[in-house]
Amino acid sequence: MKIRKFGKVLVLTAVVASMTVGMLGCDRKSSDGIDPEYVAQLEKECVDLRNQLQSLQNQLGDLEQSIVLKSYTLKAVPNAETKGATVEMTAAPMHFEEGQIATFRVSLNGSEVATATGTWDGNAYTASVDLAAEDGYTYECVLNQLDGSENEIVLSSPEAPLYESCVYLASGLNVYCNMFVENWNQDGGKLVLTTGYAQVQLPRIGNRTVDYKSSDLVLKQGEIELQRVPVEMPKGEADGSYEIVLENVTFDMPKIEDQQQVDLWLEVKLTDGQTLTYNGCSWFMENGSLSLAVG
């Protein structure tokens, strides 16, 4: 559950409280045996503290008024009929007024694709929309008040993907793998992948029915498999992800003619029998030298 701006409210509240305690000490001064100039200085400091306290209290009030939602959540559930997902919003406003209207609005690439009016349950608004399996959604909650004012709150977007699996629905619904080669070299008859990265991402939306089983790096020339190197991917930080940093993986380099090429593939086997493939890199021979294919 996301909490909006509460950190600033708590900090300001703590500052106001500490300054109030300090000012109580100012009010308990005694002039017995104290230099009058020192007493005057303390009185001036107390006035300054009172002014600062009033300013902070005003800021705290303004900040509390500016918080539109005190909490919200987004939840996506696979939708077999649309081959996409149903996304549900729950949004609790900081201040509720009779006649207030909440609208759940979803856009993709700058165009609105779905809206739903929220239902108030006494604590929060709920609304849901059916969406296609696409990546890049933006979710907003729009609160309309009786006085005609309107507040638009971005819940999650590509710029701030607080609910990443909802923003990237296609990726969240599907399983995929990828890899890239950062550095490599040719050492005699060897092709060495010095640094690279490989990843498998399982579905993050719905009940997962498949898991990672095994993976290999496969060097090919056309459809001919030249060499296969197993790589075991440990679990990554993200839910359903497996990833590995590739270091000093060595292949036997075949003799190839000018304009011929070799490809490095990532092959991933899943527990349901699926095999995922990804072409991570290609090299070609030009004037007797091996070069990385770009594009």
Count: domains in the chain:
3
Q: Check residue 7 and give its pLDDT.
A: 45
Same domain, 42 and 95: no
Q: Check residue 18 and give its pLDDT.
A: 53
Structural domain contains residue 1: no
Per residue of the chain (295 residues), give pLDDT as tens.
443 444 444 444 554 455 454 555 554 444 456 778 777 777 777 877 787 766 655 444 444 444 589 999 999 999 989 899 999 999 999 988 888 999 999 999 999 999 999 999 999 999 999 999 999 999 999 999 888 888 999 999 999 999 999 999 999 999 999 999 999 998 888 999 999 999 999 999 998 889 999 999 999 999 999 999 999 999 999 889 999 999 999 999 888 888 889 999 999 999 999 999 999 999 998 887 888 886 5
Same domain, 192 and 287: yes
Same domain, 182 and 283: yes
Domain boundary at 39, 66, 93, which? 66
Same domain, 16 and 96: no
Q: Domain holding 245: CATH number?
A: 2.60.40.10
Domain that holds residue 269: 175-292
The answer to whether the predicted template modeling score (pTM) of the entire model surpasses 0.75 is no
Same domain, 14 and 109: no
Give the residues across from 112 on adjacent strands.
107
* 269 vs 181: CA distance, rounded Å: 21
Over its C-alpha atoms, the chain yields an Rg (Å, rounded) of: 30
Give the residues across from 140 on adjacent strands.
105, 154
Same domain, 97 and 187: no
Q: Check residue 140 and give its pLDDT.
A: 98
Q: Check residue 147 and give its pLDDT.
A: 81
Same domain, 123 and 228: no
Same domain, 61 and 81: no
* 76 vs 249: CA distance, rounded Å: 39
* 234 vs 246: CA distance, rounded Å: 12
